């Protein structure tokens, strides 16, 4: 999972504030987006609508951004960002998902402490001592808080006109929120799919470890980075065994390092990110 070792390595890379300053993510994201995808190539600014939203969870007011296209009700998706939170790279990813046919809630996992964007990109996260800054915010994440947050987000989505009421809801998470995604179907019956990308903490000794609460009637996608697999080589097999009796569980190690799906990560790997994206859409197509 994303930790100080990763950040130390990333800090030594050329990707830093001098070459990747504020505002650079917009150009980079456009360059990385697969332009052969007609939905991403659209220049129509009305293609995707976004509005800032907030709603109570019982532990505070969860804030986020809601992305939709057109007037047709679509399956809802809860999109949990990684350790650096809501920022342009995650907005780009949420926009793409909305264009693929989903009503997407980009949710702030740190809402108990702060609202909205805290970092411009991963470079600013590292430069500002982001790991230390978010540590007390992350300390509030437990199996129960993740369950409550997913349930509250799913309930909010089902109240929106843009969300199809006769379809399931998906949850996806990256790095530290990979567990949020797998907890999704355990949290609320409406949630029928969970997708974790280079997620951390998926196999623990806890009775409520994500691998122990997989739901029989849900679909799961677990994309593991090669370096995370090298650090915990038994986890992929444990997750596969745990998911064998579910409606569908795909667990695969990708030939890329931690962070490979995220546009502003120093480890972003376009080929493997696109492969994971295709599997995400296939999972949602089957489950939602």
The domains found in the chain, sorted by start residue, are 4-32+45-287 (3.40.50.1820)
Measured CA distances, 28 to 88, 92, 121, 122, 267 (Å): 10, 10, 11, 13, 14
Percent of the chain with pLDDT over 70: 84
Q: How much helix, strand and coil, in percent to the nearest 5, is found in the chain? A: 40, 20, 40
| Model pLDDT, residue 164 | 98
Whether the per-residue pLDDT at 157 is higher than 70: the answer is: yes
| Model pLDDT, residue 35 | 31
Q: Structure tokens of 183?
A: 């907890």
Q: Average pLDDT, stretch 231-247?
A: 98
Output phi, psi for 98, to 5 deg: -65, -40
pLDDT digit string, tens, across residues 218-230: 999 999 999 999 9
- Give the DSSP per-residue string, 180-209: HHHHHHHH-TTEEEEEEES-SSSS-SSTT-
- E strand spans, 209-263: 219-225, 248-254
Run of H or E residues at 220: strand 219-225
Query: In 71-142, where does DSSP find H-type helix?
Result: 88-99, 122-127, 130-138
Run of H or E residues at 49: strand 49-56
Which has the minimum average pLDDT: 87-91, 126-130, 211-215, 221-225? 126-130
* Bridge partners, residue 195, by sequence: 172, 221
Q: 77: closest CA among 56, 57, 100?
A: 100
Cα–Cα dist 234/10, whole Å? 26
Whether the per-residue pLDDT at 185 is higher than 90: the answer is: yes
Q: Could you tell me the sign of the dihedral formed by the alpha carbons of 104, 285, 72, 166, in that order? A: negative
Q: Structure tokens of 213?
A: 């609460």
pLDDT band, very low/low/confident/very high, at 288 (cuts 50, 70, 90): very high
DSSP 74: B
pTM listed for this prediction: 0.89
């Amino acid at each position: 999972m994303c930790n100080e070792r990763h950040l130390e390595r990333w800090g030594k890379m050329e990707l830093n504030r001098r070459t990747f300053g504020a505002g650079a993510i917009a150009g980079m994201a456009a360059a990385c987006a697969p332009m052969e995808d007609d939905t991403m190539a659209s220049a129509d600014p009305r293609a995707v609508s976004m509005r800032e939203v907030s709603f109570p969870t019982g532990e505070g007011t969860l804030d986020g951004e809601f992305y939709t296209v057109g007037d047709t009700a679509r399956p809802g998706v809860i999109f949990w960002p990684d350790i650096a939170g809501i920022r342009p790279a995650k907005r780009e990813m949420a926009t793409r998902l909305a264009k693929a046919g989903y009503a997407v809630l980009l949710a702030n996992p740190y809402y108990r402490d702060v609202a909205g964007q805290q970092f411009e990109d991963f470079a600013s996260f590292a430069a500002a001592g982001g790991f230390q800054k978010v540590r007390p915010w992350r300390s509030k994440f437990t199996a129960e808080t993740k369950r409550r947050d997913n349930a509250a987000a799913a309930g909010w989505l089902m109240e929106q006109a843009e969300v199809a009421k006769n379809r399931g809801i998906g949850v996806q998470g990256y790095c530290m929120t990979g567990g949020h995604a797998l907890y999704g179907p355990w949290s609320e019956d409406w949630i029928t799919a969970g997708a974790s990308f280079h997620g951390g903490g998926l196999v623990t000794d806890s009775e409520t470890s994500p691998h122990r609460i997989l739901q029989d009637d849900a679909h799961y996608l677990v994309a593991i980075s090669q370096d995370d697999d090298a650090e915990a080589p038994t986890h992929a097999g444990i997750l596969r065994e745990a998911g064998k009796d579910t409606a569908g569980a795909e667990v695969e190690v990708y030939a890329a390092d931690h962070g490979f799906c995220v546009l502003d990560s120093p480890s972003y790997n376009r080929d493997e990110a696109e492969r994971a994206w295709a599997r995400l859409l296939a999972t949602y197509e089957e489950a939602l």
